[in-house]
Structures are given as structure tokens and as C-alpha cells.
């Protein structure tokens, strides 16, 4: 009796699998965009056909329309950071909602800027002067009609969010050390990085990467920290 039930269950699963395999792409897309985003990576690994759907634009266009219907409307998008494909627009809006609790036009702008900065900082080779990246972010917000104060505040939030989500590896250590050693105090407001961002750079260096320093580099970065912040946390001095 148990064997009979087991065969029935297997037949049912096989029948469902065969039915799903026969579904056209547009119906598969309608199913997938109703599944939580956290499962999409697993779904895309099941079959080559499904992986191709996630690589294409149709699924992301449908997901964008379903989740953010107003985002699909054509709008002018000035500034140096491109808006990109439907997949990128969906990802930007997802990031803005789940990391920054923002939605709508400002959410899309913040999400795209976050993706841009994170990608630039995660490049295998060191990016162009980091001050230029910050200037690009500020220019993007100003080009979209934001004031200097708002541009500075949004840029600071994005920098901190990206820094907090970088992997703890040698590349990140070298990146943070470059950020600490690259002076931008001479740049006019709002193009100089905020105190909040500079503090986060030093704090991550002295808490997450203290053992990675050579003695000379540690003394150099610590001297720069003391020059910027007084007093500094005692935790930063534990190596001495």
C-alpha cells in the first residue's frame, strides 16, 4: 500500500513537472514575478530556459511594472550615472526600499547611485581617484534638481551603506586605506566627503582590519585620524 502511494506521488510530481515544462515563456514570467525575490536565484538555477528568462529583459520589465508601475513611465534622467536596463532599474528600486526605506523617484535615484558606487568600489583594480566618485554622485543629485545640502546628505547615507556592506577582504582593506589617505578637505562643499563618511572609514579600518596593518601604515593612518577627529575612540588605540 505504501509503495502504491509512493508511486502515485511520484507520478503526480512528474505530471506537474511536465506541465510546467510546456508552459510558454510569458506564463512562466507571470508565475516567477509573483514568487518572493529571495527565491529568484534558486529558480534561475533549475533549468537553462529559466536562467535565460532571468537574463533577458522581458521578465524584469514585467517585474518592474508589477512592483513599481509608476517607474515604467518615461522620465527625463539627467546626470552622469545612467539608469540602465529594466533589471538594473528593478534592482535599484529594490535596494532603495530595503536598505534606505525609500520609494518613488527619489528611491530610484538613490538606488542607482548606490549600485554605481558599490560596483566602482568592488572593481578588481583600484578605481580612479575616490574623490571623483564622490563628485559624480553629488553631480547626479544636483542634475536631478536636489540642493547641495540634500545631495551631501544623500551621498553620505549611500557611502555609509556601501562601506557597511563591502566584503571583509584584502581588497576592501586596501580600499579603505586609500580612502583614509586620500585627502579631500580642499574640495568645496558639497564635494568633500562628510565627517560621517570619514569617521566610518577609520572606524572600519581600526575595528575590522586592525591586524592587516603594517606598523608604518598603522601609525600613518592613526596620525591622520587624530588630525581629523579629537578625541578618537580608545578602541582605535588598542594596537599601541
Domain contains 154: yes
205-220 residue pLDDT tens: 999 999 999 999 999 9
Residue 37 pLDDT class (50, 70, 90 cuts): very high
- Check: CB of residue 81 under 8 Å from CB of residue 136: yes
Domain contains 71: no
Domain contains 78: no
DSSP H or E stretch at residue 114: helix 104-121
Domain contains 34: no
Domain contains 177: yes
Domain contains 131: yes
Whether the CA torsion 18, 19, 25, 30 is positive or negative: it is negative
Between CA 208 and CA 201 the distance in angstroms is 10
Between CA 131 and CA 77 the distance in angstroms is 23
Task: Report the candidate in 29, 157, 156 with the shortest Cα–Cα distance to residue 102.
Answer: 157
**In the structure grid, which three cell numbers stand for residue 61, read together?**
520589465
pLDDT higher at 240 or 124:
124
The total of structural domains in the chain comes to: 1
User: Cell 559624480, residue?
Assistant: 136
Mean pLDDT, residues 77-100:
92
**pLDDT of 33:** 94
Measure the CA angle with vertex 71, ends 69 and 73; round to 5°. 90
Domain contains 36: no
Residue 20 pLDDT class (50, 70, 90 cuts): low
Between CA 156 and CA 214 the distance in angstroms is 29
Domain contains 57: no
CA neighbours within 13 Å on the CB side: how many for 79?
25
pLDDT higher at 7 or 80:
80
Coil vs helix vs strand at 24: coil
Mean pLDDT, residues 158-162:
97
Between CA 198 and CA 196 the distance in angstroms is 6
Average pLDDT, the chain: 86
- Lowest average pLDDT, out of 20-24, 40-44, 173-177, goes to 20-24
Instruction: Domain of residue 121: give its range.
Output: 85-237
Asked if residue 12 has pLDDT above 50, the reply is: no
- Check: CB of residue 92 under 8 Å from CB of residue 127: no
Amino acid at each position: 500500500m505504501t509503495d502504491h502511494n509512493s508511486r502515485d506521488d511520484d507520478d503526480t510530481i512528474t505530471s506537474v513537472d511536465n506541465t510546467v515544462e510546456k508552459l510558454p515563456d510569458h506564463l512562466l514570467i507571470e508565475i516567477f514575478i509573483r514568487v518572493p525575490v529571495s527565491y529568484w536565484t534558486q529558480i534561475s538555477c533549475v533549468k537553462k530556459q529559466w536562467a535565460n528568462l532571468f537574463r533577458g529583459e522581458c521578465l524584469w520589465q514585467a517585474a518592474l511594472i508589477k512592483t513599481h508601475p509608476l517607474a515604467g513611465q518615461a522620465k527625463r534622467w539627467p546626470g552622469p550615472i545612467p539608469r540602465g536596463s529594466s533589471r538594473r532599474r528593478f534592482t535599484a528600486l529594490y535596494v532603495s526600499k530595503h536598505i534606505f526605506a525609500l520609494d518613488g523617484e527619489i528611491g530610484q535615484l538613490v538606488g542607482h547611485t548606490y549600485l554605481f558606487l558599490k560596483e566602482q568600489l568592488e572593481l578588481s583594480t583600484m578605481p580612479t581617484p575616490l574623490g571623483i566618485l564622490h563628485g559624480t554622485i553629488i553631480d547626479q543629485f544636483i542634475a536631478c534638481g536636489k540642493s547641495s545640502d540634500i545631495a551631501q546628505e544623500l551621498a553620505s547615507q549611500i557611502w555609509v551603506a556601501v562601506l557597511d556592506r563591502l566584503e571583509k577582504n584584502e581588497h576592501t582593506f586596501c580600499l579603505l586605506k586609500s580612502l583614509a589617505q586620500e585627502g579631500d578637505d580642499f574640495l568645496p562643499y558639497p564635494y568633500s566627503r562628510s565627517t560621517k563618511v570619514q569617521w566610518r572609514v577609520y572606524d572600519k579600518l581600526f575595528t575590522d582590519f586592525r591586524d592587516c596593518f603594517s606598523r608604518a601604515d598603522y601609525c600613518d593612518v592613526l596620525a591622520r585620524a587624530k588630525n581629523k577627529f579629537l578625541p578618537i575612540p580608545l578602541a582605535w588605540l588598542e594596537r599601541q
